[in-house]
């Protein structure tokens, strides 16, 4: 339970905003409007807001293209040839990696498949993959078709781990026990870092260690973790990971993904991979000769020309993360999400209307709270939307709200609470009354 002395009052929220060292970042984003008014945006877990500077970053590349055309690859300070290097310092900080271990490329689902080529090497005895039940559909389809590609039957080779009866999230000790149980049969653990539906932040370090202890590799889909929680992928010895940039990383719809490949594999040209010219030794690339020689580190998994316009928008956001820092963001995030949790508990109380299924322990979640709504269904969510609340609805009855610390105020969370209170009045006999 949150210890902070929160209050359900406008003055408390205003005081918190006034003391927020990150408050000025809000002004660096475009906010959408709902019914003509600025939205209360709690959907950064699905699509992050547009940094106002994104336009400037994009225009710079358009101008470079207009002025230099093909020479733009090699000429000038903004030469595109080495553009992949620009995002590395900030990505490395966000993921807890060395710069050589990360590179921005492709889209998430594409990268998952590419990484499987290198890291999923089933044998007749070691071929199973462990994943949390209810994984994001793209991950499920990826795993299903990878297994079939290797001639395996997903109903045998895929081990899906479920929460205990009556629980919504997984216990780390149960994940570890399942890994130990699979033992020599387990080839890989492939889980999300933060579960998209429940908001649970898995113990990546312990899961990775358990996988390694039985001789399996550990890879993570960090779509909901990147830019949301600080991580230490290098120290945790994670084998590989991938993420997307359009959720918490605010880089625009469908924008570039990134991969992490642990340093242990930096010089492993023997690892099988599907290659393209952009992963080939940089010095030799334009010799256009036969024989693939991978670049060192994550760069050796690149296939194609960097997508310059995509990377420009990505960089606009990464520069804000660099300025804010993950430590400060996390600190605010824990407080802000704690405030949302507190207000929901104050308002819904023991009425049974709303049930938070995201873990209560801040170490086991990012900024997202997932709520089961037991009365009123989608009509309640739609009523919130008409008041300007942008969250997201997942069938059959889950509402996800993500007060992202980069651009959400305490007073936005407070305002949501007043809307929530009004909408629940008809279900609750004696609701708390709003003070201040
Ligand atoms: C958002 C999300 C994706 C989306 O994949 P794309 O390839 O970017 O479309 C995949 N997996 C998870 C867990 C996600 O949350």
Render pLDDT for 145-187 as a digit per residue (tens, 0 to 9): 999 999 999 999 999 999 999 999 999 999 999 999 999 999 9
Q: How far is the CA of 16 from the centre of ligand 1 (A)?
A: 34
> 286: which residues sit within 8 A by CB, 6+ positions away?
none
Q: How far is ligand 1, taken at its centre, from the CA of residue 27, in Å? A: 28
How far does residue 3's CA lie from ligand 1's centre (Å)? 34
- Asked if CATH classification 3.90.1150.10 holds for the domain at 10-30+326-427, the reply, yes or no, is yes
CB atoms within 10 A of CB 334: 19
Query: Model confidence over 109-133: pLDDT tens digits?
Result: 999 999 999 999 999 999 999 999 9
Separation in Å, CA 402 to CA 73, 77, 240, 406: 39, 38, 26, 11
Shortest-distance Cα residue to atom 13 of ligand 1: 136
Is CATH 3.40.109.10 the classification given to domain 58-322? no
| Residues paired with residue 34 on neighbouring β-strands, in sequence order | 37
Do β-strands 33-34 and 37-38 pair in parallel, antiparallel, or remain unpaired?
Answer: antiparallel
Task: Say whether 58-322 and 10-30+326-427 share the same fold.
Answer: no
Q: Give yes or no for residue 404 having a pLDDT over 90.
A: yes
Ligand 1 nearest atom to the CA of residue 196, by list position = 15
Distance from Cα 196 to the centre of ligand 1, integer Å: 9
Cα 140 from chain centroid (whole Å): 17
Phi/psi at 68 (nearest 5 deg)? -115, -20
Ligand 1 atom with minimal separation from the 46 CA: 1
- The burial class, CB within 10 Å (0-12 / 13-18 / 19+), for 99 is middle
Strand intervals (E) in 147-239: 158-161, 186-192, 217-221
Q: How far is the CA of 50 from the centre of ligand 1 (A)?
A: 19
The pLDDT, as a whole number, for residue 76 is: 78
Global pTM reads: 0.96
Q: Which two tokens stand for residue 253?
A: 């719809």
Q: What is the pLDDT of residue 436?
A: 41
Tens of pLDDT, residue by residue over 81-107, are 889 999 999 999 999 999 999 999 999
Ligand 1 pocket, residue 111 CB under 6 Å: no
**245 in contact with ligand 1, CB cutoff 6 A:** no
Substitution site in 48, 110, 134, 244 for ligand 1 pocket (most atoms within 8 Å of beta carbon): 244
Predicted pLDDT at 283? 85
**How many CA atoms does the CB half-sphere of 300 hold within 13 Å?**
22
Q: Does ligand 1 come within 6 angstroms of the Cβ of 192?
A: yes
Residue of 219 and 290 predicted with greater confidence: 219
Inform me whether the pLDDT recorded for 77 exceeds 90.
Answer: no
Question: Which pLDDT tens digit goes with each residue over 224-236?
Answer: 999 999 999 999 9
Mean pLDDT for the chain overall: 95
pLDDT digits (tens, 9 = 90+) for 180-215: 999 999 999 999 999 999 999 999 999 999 999 999
User: What residue spans of 183-226 are helical by DSSP H?
Assistant: 204-213
Whose alpha carbon is nearest atom 2 of ligand 1?
223
Cβ partners under 8 Å of residue 367, min gap 6: 44, 45, 228, 333, 336, 337, 402, 403, 404, 405
Q: Is 194 in the pocket of ligand 1 (CB under 6 A)?
A: no
Does the CB atom of residue 109 touch ligand 1 within 6 A? yes
Ligand 1 atom at minimum distance from 136 CA: 13
Answer whether 410 contacts ligand 1 (Cβ < 6 A). no
In the chain, where the domains are located: 10-30+326-427, 58-322
Q: Which helix (H) or strand (E) holds 382?
A: helix 378-386
CA of 425 to the centre of ligand 1 (A): 36
pLDDT tens for 255-306 read: 999 999 999 999 999 999 999 999 999 888 888 889 999 999 999 999 999 9
Quick one: pLDDT at residue 3?
56
Residue nearest to atom 10 of ligand 1 (CA): 138
């Amino acid at each position: 339970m949150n210890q902070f002395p929160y209050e359900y009052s406008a003055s408390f929220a205003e005081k918190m905003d006034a003391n927020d060292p990150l408050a000025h970042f809000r002004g660096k984003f475009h906010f959408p409007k709902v019914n003509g008014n600025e939205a209360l945006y709690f959907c950064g877990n699905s699509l992050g807001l547009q940094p106002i500077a994104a336009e400037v970053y994009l225009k710079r590349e358009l101008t470079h293209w207009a002025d230099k055309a093909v020479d733009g690859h090699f000429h000038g300070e903004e030469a595109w040839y080495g553009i992949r290097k620009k995002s590395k310092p900030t990505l490395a900080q966000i993921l807890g990696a060395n710069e050589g271990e990360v590179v921005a490329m492709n889209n998430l689902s594409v990268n998952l498949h590419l990484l499987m080529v290198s890291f999923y090497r089933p044998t007749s005895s070691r071929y199973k993959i462990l994943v949390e039940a209810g994984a994001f559909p793209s991950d499920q389809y990826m795993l299903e078709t990878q297994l079939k590609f290797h001639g395996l039957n997903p109903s045998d080779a895929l081990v899906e781990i479920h929460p205990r009866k009556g629980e919504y999230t997984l216990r780390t000790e149960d994940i570890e026990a399942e890994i130990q149980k699979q033992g020599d049969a387990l080839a890989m653990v492939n889980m999300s870092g933060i579960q998209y539906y429940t908001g649970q932040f898995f113990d990546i370090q312990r899961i990775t260690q358990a996988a390694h202890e039985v001789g399996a590799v550990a890879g993570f889909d960090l779509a909901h973790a990147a830019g949301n929680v600080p991580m230490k992928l290098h120290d945790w010895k994670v084998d590989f990971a991938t993420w997307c940039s359009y959720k918490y990383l605010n880089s625009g719809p469908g924008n570039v993904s990134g991969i992490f490949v642990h340093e242990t594999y930096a010089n492993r040209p023997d690892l099988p991979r599907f290659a393209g010219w952009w992963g080939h030794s940089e010095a030799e690339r334009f010799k256009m000769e036969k024989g693939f020689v991978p670049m060192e580190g994550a760069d050796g998994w690149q296939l194609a020309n960097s997508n310059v316009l995509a990377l420009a928008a990505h960089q606009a956001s990464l520069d804000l993360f660099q300025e804010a820092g993950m430590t400060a963001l996390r600190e605010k995030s824990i407080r802000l999400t704690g405030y949302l949790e507190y207000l929901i508990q104050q308002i819904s109380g023991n009425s049974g209307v709303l049930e938070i299924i995201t873990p209560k322990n801040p170490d086991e979640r990012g900024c997202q709270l997932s709520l089961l709504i037991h009365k009123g269904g989608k009509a309640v969510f739609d009523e919130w939307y008409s008041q300007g609340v942008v969250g997201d609805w997942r069938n059959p009855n889950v509402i996800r709200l993500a007060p992202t610390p980069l651009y959400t105020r305490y007073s936005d969370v407070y305002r949501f609470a007043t809307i929530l209170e009004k909408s629940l009045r008809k279900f609750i006999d004696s609701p708390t009354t709003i003070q201040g």
